[in-house]
Chain A
Amino acid sequence: MKIGTYLLWAAMAVGTGIIVLLGYFVQIDQIPADSLIGNIFELRLLIMGWAVLLAAVALGIGLFNLFLVHWMKVSAQRPGWKYSAVLIVAFVLTLLLGLIIGPDSRVVLFLFNSIQLPVEASLMALLAITLSLAGFRLVAQRRDLISLVFVGTALLVLIGSGPGILSAEGLFFSFFAGLRNWLVQVAAAGGARGILLGVALGSIVTGLRVLLAVDRPYGE
């Protein structure tokens, strides 16, 4: 029974995966719509529509899971339970407001624009400080050639990107601006393309493992 169930899930995943993948290699508009292959590719669009719907359902399950985790934490009064209590109150309040007066209402938009957006923006701002400190920490703790090159390159690009330097005249300033352009457009672009190539190859084989049902993250 267990083997049968596992085979069913694997067959469904492989079948839908192949149908969706082949859609990228075949120009569907050149296939008669009433043919068998045409019907299969029509099925592809239906499957992709279902995927979007299921992702929305999964978001709901994820939020319920989030609520459950924090509810259990408050119930057991584990360390940090007060933060979880605040999260639960905010969660329930926002959910009720969204359900009762609608997500586009002025109150809900006010909450979003006054709390959610500033908090996320402040985290983004924190990133600048974090990266500056991380640069110092990198030089202090990981004293190898690559780290020094990394920090040195970052400093050169920063100096070359400064508004005073790019707009100024003179040999000194044009040297740093030219060096910055070479670093960004030649060295960094070349390195990034190499990384992207490796990432693309890794993505393809990871996808193939799922497609061939070797990796089965959807369970047994």
Chain B
Amino acid sequence: MSGVDLTGLSILLLFVGLLIIFMAVDSRRPATFRPIRGYEALKGAIERAVEAGERVHLSLGTGSVIGTDCAPALAGLAILTSIAESTTMSDKPVVATTGDGAMAILAQDTLRRVYSEARALPRYSPTSGRMLGPTPFSYVANIPILLASEDISVHVLAGSFGAEGALAADFGERQGAFVLAGTDDAQSQALLYATAEHPLIGEEIFAGGAYLNVGRVHRASLRVQDAVRMLIIAGIIIGTVLSLLGVIR
């Protein structure tokens, strides 16, 4: 049919097919992932925070749900699921903040679902998922007050950030908190590398669900990323060789 991008649709179907295949083989052939220092340290930091009666804060960034920058925040919601499961029965459960109203509602829904599954719905508070400020810097300006007033000792940044992400991470470092930070923007990742104790580089932010055991779909999706990456690398190498040989231009 003319007017249909068959290549794009084929690639999309390849992703779906690989996702289904890797989900099916997950129990028989479980994946072994390389260790990511930040995620490994996060588990211990959450346990220490729960035992000490301190709070975990997850920032979903300043990206909008309807924008192109919502993907890292959606990955952040998977991390929120895992953190919420670990802190549901804590005296001070996790707080999730964002710079977007719709993302705040998604954070509340995610938290409500985790509390409901843990049969602890009465402990759920709608203010545990909140919008701190509608603009990037008004959002960041509120972070030091939140960190100080809520006894936060674990500060996780998993969402879309611009330059303000560096300030958000640095406020956590100054508070003496455990800081894990990742985003999708390459330039902001460089800033987070300098300011955060545990930076997430590249696509590591999207691996949170798999590394924090949110479910087999998350493990399968990480394997899909690796498989497609290998195909792309093979394509680049073959294309380079063919170009050098003068077969293609």
Contact = CB atoms under 8 A, between A and B. Distances in A.
A207 B16 CA distance: 11
B190 to A, nearest CB: 8
A134 B186 contact: no
B199 to A, nearest CB: 10
B149 A73 contact: yes
A61 to B, nearest CB: 6
Contacts of B140: 123
A120 B132 CA distance: 15
B176 interface: no
B101 A130 contact: no
A51 B65 CA distance: 9
Nearest to B75: A206
Interface stretch (A24-32, A96-104, A169-177): A24-32
A126 to B, nearest CB: 7
Contact of B186 (A52, A192, A210, A216): A192
Given A63-B101, A134-B170, A201 B203 contact: yes
Interface string B180-218: 000010100111011100000111011100000001011
B247 to A, nearest CB: 24
A152 interface: no
Contact of B77 (A59, A204, A215): A215
B186 A201 contact: no
A130 B131 contact: no
Nearest to A87: B142
A123 B131 contact: no
B163 interface: yes
Range, interface on chain B = 35 or more
Contacts of B189: 195
A212 B134 CA distance: 30
B229 A197 contact: yes
A144 to B, nearest CB: 11
B101 A138 contact: no
B141 A119 contact: yes
A126 B202 CA distance: 26
Interface in A67-120: 68-69, 72-73, 78-80, 83, 116, 119-120
A58 B206 contact: no
B149 A61 contact: no
Nearest to A136: B194
B2 A30 contact: yes
A17 interface: no
A58 B98 CA distance: 12
Contacts of B138: 116, 120
Nearest to B95: A69
A60 to B, nearest CB: 7
Interface in B105-154: 105-106, 109-110, 112-113, 116, 126-127, 130-135, 137-138, 140-141, 145, 148-149
B16 A195 contact: no
Nearest to A121: B137
A137 B2 CA distance: 58
Contact of A130 (B170, B184, B190): B170
Interface stretch (B4-12, B43-51, B84-92): B4-12
Given A26-B3, A58-B105, A214 B206 contact: no
Nearest to B64: A55
B55 to A, nearest CB: 13
Contacts of A78: 149
Contacts of B135: 120
B225 A202 contact: yes
B4 A54 contact: no
15 contacts: A26-B3, A55-B102, A59-B102, A61-B105, A63-B131, A123-B137, A127-B163, A134-B166, A135-B194, A198-B203, A201-B203, A203-B184, A204-B15, A205-B225, A215-B217
| 3 interchain residue pairs of minimum CB distance | A62-B101, A202-B206, A62-B131
